[in-house]
Chains A and B, each alone.
Chain A
């Protein structure tokens, strides 16, 4: 068997079409980073930390354990789909206001998980927020400020 077998892939990332040729086992995470979507972080690369979370066809997904070919034709959203420097998304603004970001490594994944949560459940309890982010590890904040930020957005309050 040749080890150079490559496959065509086409999907959209933040509504832009991205194409390429990939190996059968290439992960969505490696494909995204190879295509300059560095905002998607590589932490553990084995499903344990959530840093690589993106939204794929409406669901929060761990891109490091998703085969990119399984994402053929999918709509992928990364943290850059949320807001811009001048006009932050309400979740991004709340993460700033509530000091839910320290080193920032977990933040892109955390925000995408939070976004998927609020799309499904616009008034989650603190318990539900904690549960939803339980696959996104944060070494810095102790989580409380992250939960505060997400809760504030769900309640429409601004600090």
Chain B
């Protein structure tokens, strides 16, 4: 028999107090698009639902000097509608155009997507290549955690039981171009099988800087730093791109599940990476 309580903090301090008091038993409820499903499935059976949906301190999108900060409670729909983000980082807003469907996007929050620590969270690969960080707050204070050190395994992060994600931040790279490709089973409503984000700066066809992140090819969303270093300094043509993309084999460990087999994911990932690099290089639309 499940048993839940409900609590709606009026402000950040009340939220952090209840987190301090109840730790992991305080279940943060933002959009609820994951949490309510876990409750219905019975994978979570008790705790206090802590409603942060209308907490002002977790809202807001700001940016100056190429630095962007987004409140954890901001919804995917609000990100897509943000003039600031569309103007300054269209790469990031483009990423989210294939996130679920407009109904889910109205509800789903950025913080909930990250805290859920799913290997296929769609906001994560792009934030990884933007060298994104989160600010994790607790009653004692706040720490800044780089996203590439946040995740431990499917559904598991390094957030402490008393911590809340307050904001997500990143700097817009000065040069280069980014792209995100999501492969789902169908458009709309469907989660990713595999996704890739690439940020690339090139001069005369030679890679000056490249950042690559994948979702769905390992227990956590992953930056592929070894593959990045192989690309750096290389003059890219079709063949080179294909060969270097094949090197991700050594860094990924996809699994077989209902959405696809490990071998399928591996093959598809190589192709997705090649395509993303070609797009960044202007060799493909």
Contact = CB atoms under 8 A, between A and B. Distances in A.
B107 A24 contact: no
Contacts of A67: 6, 29, 32, 36, 49, 51
A79 B104 CA distance: 19
B253 interface: no
Contact of A45 (B40, B106, B187): B40
B5 A66 contact: no
Nearest to B7: A24
Interface residues of B, number: 30
A135 B49 contact: no
A61 B3 CA distance: 25
Interface string A48-77: 101001000001111001110110100000
B36 A27 contact: yes
A8 to B, nearest CB: 11
Interface stretch (B95-103, B116-124, B217-225, B259-267): B95-103
B39 interface: yes
Interface in B78-124: 100-104, 106-107
A50 to B, nearest CB: 6
B103 A135 contact: yes
A61 B107 contact: yes
B100 A135 contact: yes
Most chain A C-beta atoms within 10 Å of own C-beta, residue among B29, B33, B77, B103:
B103
Nearest to B29: A67
A23 B189 CA distance: 28
Given A47-B33, A47-B37, A69 B103 contact: no
A3 B40 contact: no
Contacts of B104: 47, 62, 135
Given A61-B107, A134-B101, A135-B104, A1 B5 contact: yes
A2 interface: yes
A108 to B, nearest CB: 14
Contacts of B189: 48, 134-135, 137
Interface residues of A, number: 32
Contacts of A132: 102
B134 to A, nearest CB: 23
Given A60-B102, A113-B103, A65 B37 contact: yes
B103 A53 contact: yes
Given A24-B5, A62-B104, 8 more contacts: A7-B6, A24-B48, A25-B49, A50-B103, A62-B107, A65-B36, A66-B36, A135-B100
Interface of A: 1-3, 5, 7, 23-25, 27, 45-48, 50, 53, 59-62, 65-67, 69-70, 72, 113, 131-132, 134-137
Closest 10 CB pairs of A and B: A135-B101, A134-B188, A24-B6, A24-B4, A3-B3, A135-B103, A134-B101, A65-B36, A25-B4, A59-B106
17 contacts: A3-B2, A24-B48, A27-B36, A47-B103, A59-B106, A60-B103, A61-B103, A62-B104, A65-B33, A65-B107, A70-B29, A131-B188, A132-B102, A134-B102, A134-B187, A135-B101, A135-B103
